[in-house]
């Protein structure tokens, strides 16, 4: 509601009339419309849900509106009353107060790049607008679905990265409650997920989530590889665990997350087999969307699935310790006998494969063979075991180029580069993303807005929110991320930035991090525990040495340092 010009004519136009035959062909009845002087609106019957209606009332230069479900036209029109001016002012003040309190409660983040600062703040605003804790689970378009066409991908939930990326900003923004509608929705499907596992594997205690479903967990489309992409469930299990870890929510871990994690692992446990040498393998596995739905779109030991399994096994062990439960010995067997990634020797060099015998053949939007680095975080490319392998893998990835990339895979790539301590490349990718994958209004796109950068540029009208939320996460990731169980701070800050800083950014393990970096050198850090915990920190580079505020020497940059912290205790570090 609000003031408009008195001469403005208002009309409520149902989507039914502006999207061709799209709705009538899908069993939608014609809307019931009404118009009476300065009042009007419509009620749209739904095939299987309560109707919805929109009414408006124009009183001079003041316009008010009402949205409702399951009301007939007369009742809807009567419910649309003209508010007084003071009610409008109160609403405006409440809105201002809401957003002021929102920003006051968020961790402060400053980067030396105006474009990234704007993307971060605008993205966080959109994140709250689409995922508020008292709302419904956000789809790929959030609440901003166009009226003149059906939503892309049938308006479904994509669980092979897209929904996860939409919700990533919650963790390091302290907006943990925003995750619960999505978790609650998945948990409400558990009987169907068990049924899927029963039909596929003959087990009664597993959870199997297809990659694309509607809000009732009905599998959408006929993309067969997505139906056996078990990392979809594992990725949600990881997010549930991370929610408990960041927030310290042991109750949710015990009542929901642990059971979902355990049931997800049961699917993998049934599928894993022993090789003659005693090692484990995953004989049937996919790498998301690679080779589409062709009959050869699968193989042994997909690196994407292996990374997901290892993260799930590690989190299950950690959760069992927290809950004082006996861990399944098989979880440790996985960590010892299943490779973290599938390796192949190509041109005489070892590198990570998509699955056995298959190196990256082309530019591809899903960086799934690198998922062990990010998002699953079970591989640190700096580790001696992986350094040369990951250098070779990155060389092929770079050589194949970005010609088949889409919007959402850009921030994921930036996060991968953060873990190679290459902030310059992470920054560049995010700038390219803004230039190529946003429209003039700032809308975030699946395809590029113009041709030339990538093949995926012929549908520039497709807006979806995953990439924009991924950019928020990639910027947070420059400051704070975890590799294995070790915290890495400021690892993705470009060396040319004059200054970058954070204040009270949440981190795994119930920690909050503040710090400042000037001209590529991290000068100070302050890490506070919100509960009793063990801090494991990779001392940031490039500096000579680190010491605590009371001059205790910690060691050289790049080394791992550990200490125990009690709830409320802080440790402050300074560099030389």
Measured CA distances, 427 to 14, 433, 449, 471 (Å): 43, 10, 20, 10
Dist CA 457 CA 403 (whole Å): 10
Under a CB-based contact definition with an 8 Å cutoff, are residues 107 and 476 in contact? no
DSSP assignment of 403-448 = TT--TTHHHHHHHHHHTTT-HHHHHHHHHHHHHHHB-TT--BBSS-
- Tell me what pLDDT residue 348 has: 92
Q: What is the mean pLDDT of residues 536-552?
A: 83
Dist CA 564 CA 49 (whole Å): 53
Q: Which burial class, exposed, middle or buried, applies to 546 when counting CB atoms under 10 A from its CB (0-12, 13-18, 19+)?
A: buried
For residue 369, what is the DSSP state?
A: G
Owner of token pair 């605008």: 122
- Tell me what pLDDT residue 1 has: 59
pLDDT tens, residue by residue, 239-260: 999 999 999 999 999 999 999 9
The answer regarding whether domain 105-484 maps to CATH 2.60.40.1220 reads no
Token pair in block for residue 496: 């040319």
pTM: 0.95
Of the pLDDT bands very low, low, confident and very high (cuts 50, 70, 90), residue 29 is: very high
Domain ranges of the chain: 2-102, 105-484, 500-575
Token pair in block for residue 426: 């992470």
Owner of token pair 């960041």: 246
Q: What is the mean pLDDT of residues 480-509?
A: 96
pLDDT tens, residue by residue, 369-397: 999 999 999 999 999 999 999 999 999 99
For the cut 80, the answer to whether the pLDDT of residue 24 exceeds it is yes
pLDDT tens, residue by residue, 306-315: 999 999 999 9
Token pair in block for residue 163: 């929904």
Dist CA 430 CA 428 (whole Å): 5
Of the pLDDT bands very low, low, confident and very high (cuts 50, 70, 90), residue 2 is: low
For the cut 80, the answer to whether the pLDDT of residue 557 exceeds it is no
User: Mean pLDDT of all residues in the chain?
Assistant: 94
For residue 327, what is the DSSP state?
A: P
CATH fold, domain 500-575, is: Immunoglobulin-like (2.60.40)
- Tell me what pLDDT residue 88 has: 78
- What is the three-class DSSP state of 60? coil
- Tell me what pLDDT residue 556 has: 74
Q: What is the mean pLDDT of residues 94-107?
A: 97
Dist CA 442 CA 135 (whole Å): 24
Pick from 540, 572, 576: nearest CA to 557: 540
Dist CA 372 CA 383 (whole Å): 13
Owner of token pair 């390219």: 432
Q: What is the mean pLDDT of residues 553-574?
A: 88
Measured CA distances, 36 to 11, 83, 244 (Å): 11, 19, 54
294-302 long-range CB contacts below 8 Å, 24 or more apart? 297/225, 298/225, 298/228, 298/355, 299/354, 299/355, 299/356, 299/357, 299/358, 300/342, 300/355, 300/356, 301/339, 301/342, 301/355, 301/356, 302/342, 302/354, 302/355, 302/368
- List beta partners, residue 444: 438
Dist CA 268 CA 568 (whole Å): 39
- Tell me what pLDDT residue 472 has: 98
**Cβ neighbours for 85, distance < 8 A, ≥ 6 positions apart:** 62
């Amino acid at each position: 509601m609000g003031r408009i010009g008195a001469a403005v004519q208002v009309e409520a136009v149902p989507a039914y009339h502006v999207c061709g035959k799209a709705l009538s062909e899908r069993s939608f009845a014609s809307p019931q419309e009404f118009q009476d002087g300065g009042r009007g609106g419509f009620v749209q019957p739904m095939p299987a849900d309560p109707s919805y209606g929109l009414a408006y009332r124009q009183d001079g230069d003041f316009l008010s509106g009402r949205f409702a479900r399951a009301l007939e036209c007369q009742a809807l029109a009567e419910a649309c009353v003209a508010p007084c001016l003071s009610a409008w002012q109160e609403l405006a003040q409440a809105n201002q107060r809401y957003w002021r309190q929102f920003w006051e409660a968020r961790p402060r983040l400053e980067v030396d790049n105006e474009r990234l600062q704007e993307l971060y703040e605008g993205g966080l605003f959109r994140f709250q607008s689409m995922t508020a804790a008292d709302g419904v689970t956000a789809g790929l378009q959030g609440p901003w679905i166009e009226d003149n066409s059906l939503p892309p991908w049938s308006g479904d939930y994509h669980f092979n990265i897209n929904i996860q990326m939409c919700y990533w900003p919650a963790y390091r923004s302290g907006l943990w409650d925003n995750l619960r509608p999505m978790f609650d929705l998945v948990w409400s499907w558990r009987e169907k997920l068990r049924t899927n596992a029963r039909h596929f594997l003959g087990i009664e205690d597993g959870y199997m989530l297809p990659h694309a479903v509607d809000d009732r967990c009905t599998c959408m489309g006929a993309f067969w590889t997505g139906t056996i992409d078990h990392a979809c469930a594992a990725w949600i299990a990881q997010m549930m665990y991370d929610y408990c870890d960041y927030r310290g929510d042991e109750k949710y871990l015990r009542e929901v997350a642990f059971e979902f994690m355990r049931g997800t692992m049961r699917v993998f446990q049934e599928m894993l087999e022993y090789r003659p040498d005693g090692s484990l393998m995953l004989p049937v596995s996919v790498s998301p969307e690679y080779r589409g739905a062709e009959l050869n779109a699968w193989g042994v030991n997909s690196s994407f699935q292996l990374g997901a399994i290892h993260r799930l096994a590690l989190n299950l062990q950690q959760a069992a310790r927290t809950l004082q439960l006996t861990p399944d010995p098989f979880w440790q067997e996985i960590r010892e006998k299943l490779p973290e990634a599938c390796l192949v020797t190509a041109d005489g060099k070892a590198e990570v494969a998509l699955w056995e015998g298959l190196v990256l053949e082309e530019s591809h939007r899903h960086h799934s063979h690198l998922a062990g680095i990010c998002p699953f975080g079970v591989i640190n490319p700096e580790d001696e075991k992986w350094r040369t392998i990951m250098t070779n893998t990155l060389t092929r990835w770079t050589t194949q180029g970005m010609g088949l990339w889409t919007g959402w895979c850009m921030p994921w790539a930036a996060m991968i580069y953060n873990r190679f301590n290459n902030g310059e490349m992470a920054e560049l990718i995010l700038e390219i993303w803004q230039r190529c994958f946003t429209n003039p209004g700032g809308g975030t796109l699946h395809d590029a807005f113009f041709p030339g950068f990538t093949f995926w540029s012929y549908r520039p009208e497709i807006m979806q929110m995953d990439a924009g939320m991924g950019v928020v996460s990639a910027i947070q990731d420059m400051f704070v991320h975890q590799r294995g169980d070790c915290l890495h701070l400021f690892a993705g800050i470009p060396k040319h930035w004059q200054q970058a800083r954070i204040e009270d950014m949440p981190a795994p393990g119930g920690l909050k991090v503040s710090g400042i970096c000037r001209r590529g050198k991290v000068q100070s850090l302050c890490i506070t525990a919100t509960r009793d915990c063990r801090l494991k920190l990779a001392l940031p580079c490039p500096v000579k040495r680190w010491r605590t505020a009371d001059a205790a020497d910690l060691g050289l940059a790049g080394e791992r340092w550990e200490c125990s912290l009690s709830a409320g205790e802080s440790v402050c570090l300074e560099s030389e």
